[in-house]
A and B are shown apart, each in its own frame.
Chain A
Amino acid sequence: MNRWTGKTSGLEEWLQLLKGQPEIMNNVTHWHTIPPREARSAAMPADIHPSLVEALAGRGVEKLFVHQAEAYRAVREGRNVVTVTPTASGKTLCYNLPVVQSLLENASGRALYLFPTKALAQDQVAELQELAAAMDVDLKTNTYDGDTPPTVRQVIRNAGHIVVTNPDMLHSAILPHHTKWVKLFENIKYIVIDELHSYRGVFGSHVANVIRRLKRICRFYGSNPQFICASATIDNPREHAERLIGEEVALIDNNGAPMGEKHFICYNPPVVNKQLGIRRSSVLETRRLAASLLRQGVQTIVFARSRVRVELLLTYLQELVKDELGTKTIRGYRGGYLPKLRREIERGLRSGEIRGVVSTNALELGIDIGQLQACVMNGYPGTIASTWQQSGRAGRRQGTSVTFLVASSNPLDQYMIQNPDFFFNRPPERALIHPDNLLILIDHVKCAAYELPFERGEKFGDEPLEDMLEFLAEEKVLHHAGDRWFWMEQSFPAHGISLRSAAQENFIIIDRTEGSRVLGEVDRFSAPTLIHEEAIYIHEGVQYQVEKLDFPEKKAYVREVDVDYFTDANLAVELKVLHVDKELESGELLRQYGELTVNAKATIFKKIRLGSHENIGSGPIHLPEEELHTSGYWFSFSEEAASRKSTNDMQQALLGLANVLVHIAPLYLMCDPQDIRVVPQVKAVHTKLPTIYFYDRYPGGIGLSQRLFDVHDKLLLQAKSLIRGCSCLSGCPACVGPIEEVGLLGKSLALDLIEQVEIVS
């Protein structure tokens, strides 16, 4: 180390020094070192076209990694393929190689590439165009999305060899107009689907149906394309791919790419208030670690979970290092930045001009930003898969790299940071989709009927199609004549159907204290209780009062106030079980899975004085009731178990347990915590017993609660170990919830409840 500047000679030395600093090391809960891995290569396959071999050599590719060679072979054998390897392992070549080779053999062939975002599509086109230029062949690769000018659309439709687009565009623009794409659909050989893991949940269920439609159109034009998919590491890549495309798939996961040594450090900010279980802010700790790395000249990426945090961290870091590095070398990156700015930042990162970037998970996907050395995550990204993706941004092929995971105080983070084994020794989550969700399915049956009439005996999904067609004919959407069902409605069905979930519709909060500025946003389902009129909304420690909530326009207008109370809204939730599909009894617990409706209505709010928590007033909330028809899973305690506790104690135990369960449920689901809801009831209408309900917050259900029904035992076990392992005295936000919510005994009551059940079973 240079004693005068404090600079170390490199990341290795810096890591050594770190180990000698107790003020840091005391907070490190786990230091995991992944040894470097050598490359395993295979010779370039003999059948590859000489000009392609030459072009690849010109870009530094003389040999293939084993997984690339395997993928190539499998595709050439005519199999559908999914490749699963970490970031920077040369995944794109796994599909570009067979596709380009095939186009060199037969120029009339066509391929369709699907990416979840426009930015990724543009990256891909640039890469393919460079390759074509290097070979000096006429290989037309184009993006086709909302930004494509109308003048070139026709050319792309007729002459593009490789059309790169996104599922939304396929759904609403290409498939309903397939007659304009005759050339593509007649000659399509390959369909490439990258970032397969991002097609999960509601979005994935929709995309699976779009692919069913795509295959149907291909059949109509007499083609039968092969699928080549690529995914980040998930637990069930093959199953997921097979469900998504509805075909058998060969799995390629024999990663041959080299990797440098990797340090993965779990960091838990110190407790500052033991009674309340409050830890030092993860943002401040992230800032400290990132600044230290940046000062050493280590190119660093910082991931934060929200846009607001990105901006906050960016401002802090730019301020801290402005004298040494200049603010232009540290940039932010998130959705909402214009494409041009994003391209500039990506370029800067590749060239090394930009030394640090603070990003949301927007940079988690395969956008090319070159090799970074360090990654700092502010908060657990939510899933094991994303964590590895984000960590993979640091240290791509050689050299030492480091990743810090800085835990926030939410229960999931605390669980992960205290149980690192769970993270390191467990496969990542399963990607779940439920393409046969009745409502999603029927939407796509409509779109498909619009594209081509259905014939008797046709299949679409795993539900009986004819019943659905008859139903739609009754609804006067389809017309049944002869052996076929025809679309007979004036509308264009794809326009009314969005592939992305409705939960993305947020309410915007506008501050009118001085002029008007956007303060933040709140998701649709939380809006009735958080930003009803007269609510006190707290943002960065400042109180605002909601003056007006424009429900249809999804806007809340607030003004800064200084009052000594906060508001707490009462949400009346009514659950009605319509149908029980599965049932299992074990010991004192009965668990069921089925269909239910949820009616939620914000009724009144209370004003509660800060500090003393006395109730100082209340008012009504006038907002429409929300109804949701979905699938759910619930378990109820037997009468014996119920009789052991007073109603009040049972109430608090259930509430505490429910709080824990809903936070750890995402461990098994790979979903947004917002997608699943929990409701504890001391005496449920359906069972008349103490019951905890979970339901999918999407009409018709998307398979989340079904999965929870299956992992029920493990879920309870995790909940118990989380409550036991929490360092707080009697409940904190990181386990059963704060004392204000679950009472002084909440923690022990909840623990007691699980343990008793366990003893009996």
Chain B
Amino acid sequence: MSRMRERLLRHRASREEALERESAECDKAEASARLDETEETEETVCTVHNVQHADAEASETEPLPLLWEGLDVRLIHTSNGPFLRREARYPMSYRHGLHSLSELGAAVKGLAAFRAIGQFERSRDIRQEQFNAAVRVPLDAGKVLFLDLETTGLGVGTGNVPFMVGIAYAEGEAFVVEQMLIRHPAEERAMLTYLCDKLPSFTHLVTYNGRTFDWPVLLNRLILNGFRKFQWEPVHIDLLHPSRSIWRNTLVSCRLSHVEEERLGITRNDDVPGALAPAIYFQFLADQQPGPLLGVFRHNETDMLSLACLAIRFGHLLSGQLEAYVPQQPQSEELLRTGLWLEKMGAVELAEPLLAQLAEDEQAEPGCLFLLADRDKKCGNWPRAVLLWQKVVQAAERSHWPDWRAHIELSMYYEHRTKQLQSALLLAESALSFAQKRMAGLRLDAKRRQELEGIRKRVDRLRHKIGRLSG
């Protein structure tokens, strides 16, 4: 043993001594709890459904050790060495939650609205035109690739390794989920070789948070493994962004597992949480027992299916045919957000009916109506904006915890557009009394004080104007 090692071990020894002294009692419980969880995954039994897993055909490869039996993986050889691949083929009639995979064919028409680079025109007419142009280009469902990585860490640093890459696509009458696994990091190059071969036949890439995570991580790996010249520039559809646009206030979280449960009718049984995947993989590296990896495979496979269903959901929305498949969500907040998102995507004509429906909804929350009025104000739809503000003002008068923003908007409208100064003053005055009531007893920070001061000035100005006119 070298001197270097002796020194390292001395340091480790003194560190361990210190730790022992400090905490004889703690930490152990947590560590053992974690072990239990990983053991549990080993017991998860494959539930049988009408899915074909590719057989581990012995003909083209040498057989894997028996340990791997039951994981449905087989060895793939590339010019850069071997790695493992697992394949599941779902019939298109397969139903995952509310949607069936067969809807993909219809939904891709809408997905075509996502363009390569999304700079949207300010003008509504041009936006609609662009949208029309985009969805006219036929998109083949077989050109869309779904991608999801399981990695050894968080973040997009160069040390974060995707040990499992899941891809999925429609192929004829089947929906194929391919999962690649590396048995140790030296197999990564082989896996990437295979992937680089596969990717260029697709034109669209669908991910969940892939813009900030999966795709940059994969690019890192390509650069690190000598594929710097690899070129593939698909239209990247990151479904996290529209999910956030629509559900940020209605769902407690926009994680895929939560969205699928709340909106796609998908429930998972015995799912291994994604956060445990790295620990399971590290355990496998240490003991070479692949059993627990099955849980990670199944988790990733479900993620791929959910991703496809979420894409179907947004595709339907963009092609205006969602109602043909699922009943509409009744919440006004969601209606509003969906309308605004469609509008942002250029589907102005699809957005209008949703927004109109909201405007007429007697049960709609005032907050949503206010936001809709704001949108109407921006695009010059004054009549409806005024109508909505009035509704919100009425609601505020009835409320115990009134919001005065609509009062101010309406007051501004009367003062500057229709010159009805008296009405404007009345609204400003009641806004002031609401604000004073609500801020009574609260500490007035700079922002609140400024807001209150603003209303007071408005009232003063209006009184002054009226005084001048009458006097």
Question: Which A residues have a C-beta under 8 Å from some C-beta of B?
Answer: 176-179, 182, 438-439, 442, 449-453, 463-464, 467-468, 470-471, 476, 479, 481-482, 484, 486-493, 578-579, 595, 597, 624, 627, 629, 700
Contact = CB atoms under 8 A, between A and B. Distances in A.
Given A182-B228, A468-B8, A476-B282, A481 B184 contact: yes
A467 B158 contact: no
B413 to A, nearest CB: 35
B185 interface: yes
Nearest to A438: B7
Interface stretch (B88-96, B149-157, B192-200, B264-272): B149-157
Contact of B223 (A179, A484, A492): A179
Contact of A176 (B18, B159, B282): B159
Contact of A442 (B8, B153, B220): B8
Contact of A488 (B155, B228, B285): B285
Given A179-B219, A597-B14, A463 B158 contact: no
B220 A179 contact: yes
Given A597-B14, A627-B14, A700-B11, A492 B4 contact: no
B157 A491 contact: no
Given A479-B285, A484-B186, A492 B155 contact: yes
Given A179-B158, A467-B8, A488-B161, 17 more contacts: A177-B156, A178-B158, A179-B219, A179-B220, A182-B223, A438-B8, A450-B157, A463-B4, A467-B5, A471-B8, A476-B286, A481-B185, A486-B184, A490-B154, A492-B154, A492-B159, A595-B7
Contacts of B158: 176-179, 450-452
Nearest to A491: B153
Select the residue from B18, B153, B185, B278 with max chain A CB neighbours within 10 A: B185
Contacts of A453: 185
Contact of B4 (A179, A467, A479): A467
B64 interface: no
B2 interface: yes
Given A182-B223, A182-B228, A488-B185, A450 B8 contact: no
A476 B283 CA distance: 10
B290 to A, nearest CB: 16
B276 to A, nearest CB: 11
B22 to A, nearest CB: 8
Nearest to A626: B18
B448 interface: no
Interface in B135-158: 152-158
7 contacts: A451-B158, A451-B159, A468-B4, A488-B185, A492-B155, A578-B10, A627-B14
Interface in B373-413: none
B224 A452 contact: yes
B44 to A, nearest CB: 23
B11 A488 contact: no
A559 B212 CA distance: 51
Interface residues of B, number: 33
Select the residue from A452, A464, A482, A488 with max chain B CB neighbours within 10 A: A488
A304 B161 CA distance: 51
A482 B22 CA distance: 39
B328 to A, nearest CB: 38
A486 B185 contact: yes
Contacts of A438: 7-8, 11
Secondary structure class of chain A's binding surface, majority of residues: mixed
A487 B159 contact: yes
B282 A627 contact: no
Question: Nearest 7 pairs between A and B by C-beta?
Answer: A450-B159, A486-B185, A481-B184, A487-B159, A481-B186, A176-B157, A482-B186
A170 B269 CA distance: 45
A182 B286 CA distance: 34
Nearest to B275: A490
Contacts of A489: 152-153, 282
A312 to B, nearest CB: 33
Interface string B150-176: 001111111101000000000000000
Nearest to B1: A467
A549 B285 CA distance: 46
A350 B151 CA distance: 54
A503 B282 CA distance: 36
Contacts of B223: 179, 182
Nearest to B2: A467
Contacts of B228: 182
B224 A179 contact: yes
Interface string B192-235: 00000000000000000000000000011001100010000000
Contact of B157 (A481, A492, A629): A492
A353 B233 CA distance: 58
Select the residue from A439, A479, A595 with max chain B CB neighbours within 10 A: A479
Contacts of A442: 8
A332 to B, nearest CB: 28
Contacts of B154: 490, 492
A490 B278 contact: yes
Given A488-B152, A488-B282, A177 B157 contact: yes
B11 A490 contact: no
A449 B184 CA distance: 15
A486 B219 contact: no
Contacts of B8: 438, 442, 467-468, 471
A399 to B, nearest CB: 50
B7 A479 contact: no
Nearest to A624: B22
Contacts of B279: 490
A438 B4 CA distance: 9
Contact of A490 (B15, B153, B184, B286): B153
A492 B152 CA distance: 11
Nearest to A178: B158
A452 B159 CA distance: 7
A470 B4 CA distance: 11
Nearest to A494: B157
A520 B278 CA distance: 46
Contacts of A176: 157-159
B220 A629 contact: no
Nearest to A629: B14
A186 to B, nearest CB: 9
A452 B302 CA distance: 32
Contacts of A464: 2, 4
A451 B223 CA distance: 12
A327 to B, nearest CB: 29
B161 to A, nearest CB: 7
Interface in B14-29: 14-15, 18, 22
Contacts of B2: 464, 467
Contacts of A595: 7, 10
